Structures are given as structure tokens and as C-alpha cells.
Amino acid sequence: MERHSVDTPSEVRAPVGEQGSGRLPGRRRGHRAPALAAIFILTIGLGACDFEVVNPGPTQDAALDDPAAFMPLVTGMSQALSAALWRVGLVGAEVAREYVQGGRIFTTKLPTTPGQLTRDDVSDAHWNTAQQARWVAEDGIRRFRESAALDFGTSALAAEALVHAGYANRLLGETFCEAVFDGGPALPGRAYFERAEAHLTEALGVAVAAGDEQLALAARVGRASVRVHLDDWVGAEADATGIPEDFVHQARFTNSELEQYNIIYWSNANSPFRTHSVVGTFYEGYYESTGDPRVAWDTDPAVPNAEIATVPWLFQLKYQSREDPINLATGREARLILAEAALRRGEAEEALGILNALRTSLTSDLDGQPLEPWPDTDDPVEVWGRLKAERGIELWLEGRRLGDLRRWVADGSPAEAVDVADRIRLCFPIAESELEANPNLELQHPDPVSPAYVGG
């Protein structure tokens, strides 16, 4: 199959946080995220609106209160969320066994210890960009509320900002062990989901008042996914019911600069990086036997191996350009939520019917025929296994698998999704830079360990 490669830029600037944090060991510094983020949102926002704009440098905070800056602010929220998503999605996919490491030459290197999220081995940039995405959106919401130029309760712009804030908090909840807000103490990770639910609930009301159906749907399906983690299955099912199956809400990427690329693609596009492979994963054999287009991969006889010469290079085909979007929520995910809700009520037959309706709506890459449905069974444990497999297939490489694995381990639901007994944790720890800057945290803060971990 022909590779869709791109030229490597003549000069690539490493993302913030990858070339050394500049921290001073043992010293605490002031919490500077708000000031830095205020500059970030205008720079990113303007850059995303017009790629010919020259970065004017640091911007006065008051300039962001100008109504003319509101649209760039919202664009900046979107780009901040995208930048956070690719970072945690790239590393989290390995921990969740969505791929294996194929190399470490890429600018944003994968951890030196495969599959383990230890603080010593995970860049502070994952925490910093994810927190920045949350703060940028929430601070923008504050500005919008305080502006006399905006009718917040009926503004589509306000609804979009609330949606971004909701999804940014969901990203944190699904991928980070503990919650910290703006220099505060460490809280249970559930706090991110509670915050996300509040933002998305308000977003739904504002979007409806503004007459924006797409934003209303994004808020509803996003809230459904958040309520899954809050164990509110009645609420999750109510939100997921009636979502059109073809609905899609996505994180956007551009060719503007490295931070705005779809890095899951670009880090493995052979231009020149080949940092991951699906060899040895569930997806390798599953695609070979079914041709399910959701987990398509290919090989290149001219380049048989990844950067590590002993790793066969089986490259994903879900993303084929630096600009390909990544799903944040879909109507198909809403159907999976309905299936899991039914299964948790003990209605395995209904759950299996939903799963098979999703499968048979797709065409196999092997023979052009609808995918085979899962075989009939009255064993709820078997249906649980299929539900967990379907979520892994449907949400493959979308930065969502860690959250699913962690919640299933926590609630002890039947059927193993994937063996994670050798994973120290299924979530990112609080970054060292946060521990050094935050007076409410100890420098030797203990990181949670996965209850499924049986390693040494």
C-alpha cells in the first residue's frame, strides 16, 4: 500500500518542556500557569485563525478582555486541547497496549521504560499542557461572563468555550491519577469529572438557548462519557439516548507548527520517524482476521522495521496526515455507552444487539462485506468481553483507553480487557514541576499504584 508520508521540516523546534524544564532542584517557585496561559491563548488563537500572522510576542492580559479577542480565545482553547490530547494519547496508547514502541528518535521521545508511567520517566509537558488546556478554557469563560459585550446565556461562543472546558477536564480525569486545580491540594481524580460535568451541563443549556444543535450534541455526549466515570449510569444512558449515530465532535490539527500536528500520525509517518507498531498487540491479529477498518494497519516492504531494527513496522492507518482530526466524542460511542448501561442492568442480550448493530454497519477491508457480528451467547461475561473489545476497537488511538482500563479495574467488572498486571499505574502522575511549584504538595508526593499491578 502506498505510504502517505510528508516531508520533514528542515528545522523542528522541540515542544515546550522537552528540552529541559529549567527547574532548580529543591526550590519552589511561584505558580505561573495563568500568566503563561494568557499569552499562549492569544498566540495560538491568532495563529490558528491566520497562519500568516506574525507572533507579536507577549500580550497584555487586559487585551484578552477585548471582544475582538474572543473568537481567537476560543480557537486557542481548541488548539490547547488538541495539543494536550496528542501528548497524553501518544504515551497512554503504549501503556494501554494499543501499540508497542518502535523507536525513541522522535522529538517527543517515548518513555525509556515501556508501559510504565513513573514520574522519572514521563515528561512534565504532559501535565503542563493538559492543565493549560483546562485553564485556558476556564479563564476564557470567566472573561466572557464578565464582559458586557456578550450575552453569556445565549452565546454560541460561550457554549463552545464551556464545551472545551468540559472536554479538557474529561481528558485530565481519564488520564491523570489525581486532580490539582491552580496551586491547590491533591484531590481524587473524580474531581476532574465533576468539574467536566458542571461545564458540559451549562454548555448544553447555553447551546440550546443559542440554537446551536452541534454544540448541544457535543455537550450531551461528552456529559454521557463523563457520567460513565462518575458511575451515574442513569444519567449517562439518558444523555446517550437519541444521539445520531453519525454525530462526530473532534479535536482539530493543522500544519502550522509541531504543537498543532496530529503527532500520533507524524511520529510514525516515516518522515523520518517510525516510533510505534501494532505488532504483537490485539489489533494485529484482529485486523488480519476481520479487516475491521477501525483498526486498519499496513506494512511497507521497502521499510520492514521500525527505528528499532528488531521491531517489525506495522503502521496504523487511522490517521494519514498531520491534519487528521482525533475524535473527542461520537454517536457510535454513545451507542457503546447504551450497551454498557444495558449490560450493567443485566440485559446482556440487549447489549450484544447494540454491539452487533455497530459492527455490521461497517464493511470489512478483506472482502467488502459487512463485518461479522459477535456470535450469540447468553453468558454475560462473554458479552462483557465483547463490550470491552468493541470500546478498544472503536476508540483506538483516541487517547481514551487508559480511562476505560482504569475504571474497569477499579469496579472489578467481568472479563479482562487487556493484561495490565505489569503496569505500575494506568494514569499519569502529578508532574515534578507541579510538586516544586505548589506549596500544597510535598516534593516526595506518593503516586497511586494500580490495584491490578503485581510487579516487583
Buried b (16+ CB within 10 A) or exposed e, 27-65: eeeeeebeeebbbbbbbbbbbbeeeeeeeeeebeeeebe
**pLDDT beyond 60 at 35:** no
Q: Do residues 277 and 99 make contact, with C-beta atoms less than 8 angstroms apart?
A: yes
* pLDDT computed for residue 448 by the predictor: 93
State whether the Cα torsion 98-103-106-108 is positive or negative.
Answer: positive
Q: What is the pLDDT of residues 177-198, one digit of tens each?
A: 999 999 999 999 999 999 999 9
SS3 content of the chain, % helix, strand, coil (to 5): 50, 5, 45
Helix (H, G, I), strand (E, B) or coil at 84: helix
Rounded CA separation 106/126 (Å): 16
What's the sign of the alpha-carbon dihedral 413, 338, 382, 326?
negative
| pLDDT surpasses 80 at 1 | no
User: Residue 418: what pLDDT?
Assistant: 94
Q: Which residues pair with 405 in a beta bridge?
A: none
How confident is the model at residue 57, as a pLDDT? 54
Q: What is the pLDDT of residue 104?
A: 83
With 90 as the cut, is the pLDDT of residue 55 above it?
no
Residue among 191, 196, 188 nearest 225 (CA): 196
With a cut of 60, say whether residue 33 has pLDDT above it.
Answer: no
Entry pTM: 0.88
Q: Which residue has the cell 483498526?
A: 295
320: number of Cβ within 10 Å: 17
CB 99 within 8 A of CB 284: no
- pLDDT for position 435: 97
| pLDDT tops 90 at residue 19 | no
pLDDT above 90 as % of the chain: 79
Query: Which CATH number is 33-437's, of 3.30.1240.10, 1.10.1060.10, 1.25.40.390, 2.40.100.10?
Result: 1.25.40.390
From the CB of residue 266, how many other CB atoms can be counted at a distance below 10 Å? Answer: 25
Question: Cell 485553564 maps to which residue?
Answer: 135
| pLDDT, greater one: 442 or 123 | 442
pLDDT, tens only, 106-135: 877 788 888 899 888 888 999 999 999 999
Task: Tell me the HSE value of 144 on the side-chain side, using a 13 A CA sphere.
Answer: 24
Would you give the distance in Å from CA 242 to the centre of its chain?
24
Cα→Cα distances 120→18, 100, 267, 453, Å: 13, 20, 22, 18
String of DSSP letters for 190-257: HHHHHHHHHHHHHHHHHHHHHT-HHHHHHHHHHHHHHHHHTT-HHHHHHHHTT--TT-EEEE---SSS
pLDDT digits (tens, 9 = 90+) for 378-400: 999 999 999 999 999 999 999 99
Q: Which residues of 398-411 are buried (b: 16+ CB within 10 A; e: fewer)?
A: bbbbbbbbbebbee
Please report the pLDDT score of residue 68 as a whole number.
84
Phi/psi at 328 (5° precision): -100, -35
